[in-house]
Amino acid sequence: MQPESKLYEITYILKGESEEEAINNLDSLKKSVEENGGMNLEESRSFKRRLAYPLGKIREAFSGSIKFFLKPDAIKNLEEFLKRENNIIRYLITVSRRQTNKPPQPKKIRRVAEISNSDIREIDKKLEEILGQ
């Protein structure tokens, strides 16, 4: 029996001096996902950012994420590719939760009981007694 596909997300940091080079690196990553039987679902736009600390001589890199469906037994092959690929500096593979498109439920508003003038007068009298006036 084949295991069901799960929704995964790869967050990555790619080498690349130019945006074209980063796009080529990203294409090879997507191609590897598809070769392992994955189906791309969603992709966040890659952007160049300054790293918090240099990784070797690299101070800037492209980062982003990809969501895709893949069978759990194929994730090891994908991870081996990611380890071998020199253009991928760092990566993190997580299992994502499937998002349902349920509309948000309206919150119920509690009705506050109205305070009558006689209640206010009683409260004022008790306050005067407590404060000693």
The CA angle 72-12-83, to the nearest 5 degrees, is 65
Cβ(35)–Cβ(82) below 8 Å:
no
Residue among 50, 42, 57 nearest 7 (CA)? 42
- Model pTM score: 0.66
Q: What is the mean pLDDT of each successive set of 10 residues along the chain, which is 133 residues long? A: 78 85 86 87 84 87 91 90 89 81 76 77 88 76
- Both tokens of 49, joined, read 């950012």
The Cα 109–Cα 107 span in angstroms is: 6
The yes/no answer on whether domain 6-95 falls in CATH 3.40.50.1460 is no
The Cα 73–Cα 36 span in angstroms is: 10
